[in-house]
Amino acid sequence: MTQFIQIHFLTSYPPSNLNRDDLGRPKTALMGGVNRLRISSQSLKRAWRKSELFESALGNHMGIRTKRMGRKIYSDLIAGGITNEQARNWTRLMSEPFGKVEVLKAKKAATDKDSVKKIATPENIEEEKLSTLDIAQLAHFSPEEQQAINFLVKKCIAEKIEPTLHDLKLLRKDNSAADIACFGRMLADNTGYNIEAAVQVAHAISTHAVDIEDDYFTAVDDLNDGSENSGSAHLGETEFASGLFYGYVCINRDLLKKNLGENELLTQKTIAALIEASAKISPTGKQNSFASRAYTSYMLVEKGSQQPRSISVAFLKPVKENDLLKNSIEALEKHRENIDKVYGMCADKFTKLNAVEGEGSLSSLIDFAKAE
């Protein structure tokens, strides 16, 4: 039976704008008939994946997600004495296993008057040339694939010959990239090398109703002595809100281990990093303006082979504001107990930490979660 690890957490953020929409406002969602703050799963996953915590925990077992790998290949070939034309052709050959190269981009830009103006400087002209080496979609490169690319670049430089079809088999089904194993990979042009995500992350949503507020601010010119103009040098406006968020993560432990080549030690390290990151790492949006960093106040971890389920329905009725954190914890635990009464035990075992009451610890939570 597939083993699942489910993580439920409550994290309170002070005034902030952690995850913005296209208008620069904090993201929201309508739930239970009222407006809630929302942090997208994409925002959470990127904050965790790019954190120093993840990097220090998983070190060389991290991939790179980019469209620009071709630029690195090209610059390495040029540095190795390969001619410009050969370097460009060989770069496209090495990039194409990961996605189609945007070779028509420069031609399109040349027919666009606005683009012509934009590429008038030598720097912009060079940037436009390099952009024709980018692949059309973001691709996640595992450490093994990066090593294969680097080896092939060195081989082409040493032998001064174009890579062969055999050389261009750069994609790897087996890899040690923890972030790819967790969050998956999709290659539109090489679907056989897609990797199914072993970790599902829900959009975090406030347990209560919210109103977005406006902050009108000014900045003063330090060299303005006020003799002629005592006004501000800049006027601005930003929007913010505060909220207590319910977050949910579901880990398919068996799939995670399979994605990591059945490496049990690396699987345990990845689970530990995920739990610590979800407890400690905040999204990066507007942090310089609000310093809205927070640790989770409550975390519940469940393990078992039962069908996973979120407990977000506990907050379908918005929690009242007289004691948001305490009331939210009570609502979550009460609904979890009620689900178990109706459906039977939805997990074989669980443990939790509660920073409000000083109960439990993150280290014990991690030890519980990562154990087979």
For residue 271, the model assigns a pLDDT of: 98
Distance separating alpha carbons of residues 3 and 225, to the nearest angstrom: 68
Query: Is there a contact between 280 and 370 (Cβ–Cβ < 8 Å)?
Result: no
For residue 236, the model assigns a pLDDT of: 83
For residue 155, the model assigns a pLDDT of: 96
For residue 103, the model assigns a pLDDT of: 59
Rg (CA), the chain: 25
The torsion angles phi and psi of 228, rounded to 5 degrees, stand at -115, -40
Query: Is there a contact between 369 and 271 (Cβ–Cβ < 8 Å)?
Result: yes
Distance separating alpha carbons of residues 283 and 51, to the nearest angstrom: 10
Distance separating alpha carbons of residues 287 and 285, to the nearest angstrom: 6
Q: What is the mean pLDDT of each run of 10 residues along the chain (372 residues)?
A: 93 95 93 96 96 94 94 95 94 94 56 53 75 91 96 96 95 92 92 95 97 87 81 85 97 97 96 97 93 96 97 96 92 97 96 96 97 88
Minimal CA–CA distance to 193: which of 167, 209, 174, 207?
A: 174
For the whole model, what pTM was predicted?
0.90
For residue 112, the model assigns a pLDDT of: 52
DSSP state of 192: G
